[in-house]
Each structure stands twice: as structure tokens, then as C-alpha cells.
Amino acid sequence: MENQQDIRRKISKPKWLRVKLPTGESYREVRKLVDEHKLHTICESGSCPNMGECWGEGTATFMILGNICTRSCGFCAVKTGRPNAVDLKEPKRVAESVKLMKVKHAVLTSVDRDDLMDGGSTIWVETVENIRKVSPTTTLETLIPDFAGKWDNLQRIIDVSPEIVSHNLETVRRLTKAVRIQAKYDRSLELLFRLKKGGMKTKSGVMLGLGESEEEVIETMEDLRNVNVDILTLGQYLQPTPKHLPVSDFITPESFLKYKEMGLKMGFRYVESGPLVRSSYRAEKHLF
């Protein structure tokens, strides 16, 4: 039987996953703005390891439609339950914060709102329009849910035409049911296909370390290229709490580099691949 020391050694994080605590004047300024305007950021709710770096540079990813999700994905730290009523003032408040922060490139994401007929798409559109009104030089990436396959709701996003539209596949086909309990692998691929057909620049992300094989990672990358996804992000899954799915393995920086080289050869326009990469990491570089 393995002793406790052996078990601890297996689950301890490798040195390349060490992250500095958030510090600095720029970070404190962003922290103050988020608190004052009562914004929900995926940086906090998603326990992002890059929060210190991104906020320290005066940038942030805004999460709209509240901070309670109708889905219960096995990897995500965002609360699950019955969401509060939609805050109709949120689009204006987010836009005002983007202006105050002088954000050049803003990333918007949201919880899943399967409780709403429009899936929250109307608030998505209003948020984009409000940002463009008060900060017309700000470019936008929208990291959207699958809208439960209700394509009329997706069309609203296409019609408002953000510079980049992102939707994360998150994991390989075999693990989708365990990792994204209410989602469907092929539905996500169809959403990305429809976005590209609608003229959007598309992006998707995959987490590694959940038990997938190298062959499955390559297959997933090929599936994304088959629907002409432009930008790919690959990062290490980190277990947010003991209640979430455990980390199966820690992928080495060398393996991430290999996947990046493979992705570029497949035809992705841009590939972010590394242990600490998250879908919104260095998002401004993805405009090209």
C-alpha cells in the first residue's frame, strides 16, 4: 500500500505551475474598479492563475449575466444553482468600467443561462453595443456558451459582430460527458461551424490533464480545424476544489510546445499553448 508521502508527491504541482500573488499599483486600481462597480469577473469566479499578471497590466475579462450558472461542469469553480434575475443595468455598467479602465481589448464571457428563453443573448448584444457606444476604439472578444443549440440566439451574436467569437470545447470527445455534463461535443463543433459560416473570426480552448491521451488531443485539434477555427488555446487543468474533477496528470511545457507546433502546422492562425494558458490569456494578440 502506498504511504501518504507517495500520494502527496503524486498530486503536488510541478514548479512550472507556481504563480506569484497579485500585487502592484495597477492591480490595486483594477481591484477597486471591479469592487466599486459590482462586476463579476471570470478572473475571480474561475480562479484563473493569471489574474495577477493580467490585472497587473490593467486588463480583465468581464463575466456578464451574474455569477451563478445553470450548469454543473466538473471542472468549473463558478457557482451552480438558480441564477438571480437578469440585471438590465449590467450592460451599461460593464461598458462604463471598460471606459474607465481604458481597456483596448475587452473579453466578455458569461455563465450559462439555460433558464432564459434567449439564453442571455439579448444582454450579450446590449453589452457589446454599450461598450462600442462609450469606448468605440475598444475591440471585443466574446467567449460565449452554446445557447443549448438554439441557433436564433447564436445569430444575435453574429449580427452584432464582435472582432473575435470564442467557444471552448474544453476537452476531448470521450471525456465530454464527465467534464461538461450538460454540453455536447458535436453541438459545440456545430456552433463554431455556424460562427465561421457567419463570417466570424473563431477561437476555442481545450484543457489538458484530465486523462486524455495524446492521440485524443490531436484528434480534437483536427476536429476544430475541420470547422475552420482560427485560434486555439491549450492549458493545464487545475482542480479548483476537492469537489471538482481531479487532475490526472500535469502536462510538461515541452509537450505544450509540441502541441503548439502541431497546431500551427494544421493551419491554426494562432496557438497559445502552455501550462498556465487560459482562453483569455494574451487575448489582444489574437486579433491579427
* Segment 47-61, tens digit of pLDDT: 566 676 666 666 678
Please determine, for residue 42, whether its predicted confidence score (pLDDT) is greater than 80. no
Q: What is the pLDDT of residues 190-239, one digit of tens each?
A: 999 999 999 999 999 999 999 999 999 999 999 999 999 999 999 999 88
Quote the pLDDT of residue 37: 72
Quote the pLDDT of residue 5: 40
Report the C-alpha gap between 35 and 216 in whole angstroms.
41
- Mean pLDDT score, 60-80: 83
For residue 260, give the nearest of 209, 217, 211 by alpha carbon: 217
Quote the pLDDT of residue 59: 67
Quote the pLDDT of residue 196: 98
Asked if 46 and 54 count as a contact pair (C-beta separation under 8 A), the reply is: no
- Mean pLDDT score, 253-268: 98
Quote the pLDDT of residue 11: 59
Share of the chain above pLDDT 90, in %: 59
Domains of the chain: 4-203 (3.20.20.70)
- Give buried/exposed letters for 158-181 (b at 16+ CB in 10 A, else e): bebebebbbbbbbbbbbbbeebbe
Residue 150 has which C-alpha cell? 438554439
Asked if 98 and 61 count as a contact pair (C-beta separation under 8 A), the reply is: no
Report the C-alpha gap between 127 and 96 in whole angstroms.
10
Lowest mean pLDDT segment, chosen from 68-82, 109-123, 183-197:
68-82
Report the C-alpha gap between 80 and 233 in whole angstroms.
25
**By three-state DSSP, how is residue 210 classified?**
coil
160 or 284: whose pLDDT is higher?
Answer: 160
Report the C-alpha gap between 4 and 10 in whole angstroms.
10
Query: Taking each helix axis from N to C terminus, what angle separates 185-197 and 151-160, rounded to the nearest 10 degrees?
Result: 40
Residue 170 has which C-alpha cell? 474544453
Please determine, for residue 30, whether its predicted confidence score (pLDDT) is greater than 80. no
Q: What is the pLDDT of residues 134-145, one digit of tens each?
A: 999 999 999 999
Residue 40 binned pLDDT confidence (cut-offs 50, 70, 90): low
Report the C-alpha gap between 118 and 120 in whole angstroms.
5
Quote the pLDDT of residue 3: 43
Residue corresponding to grid cell 503524486: 10
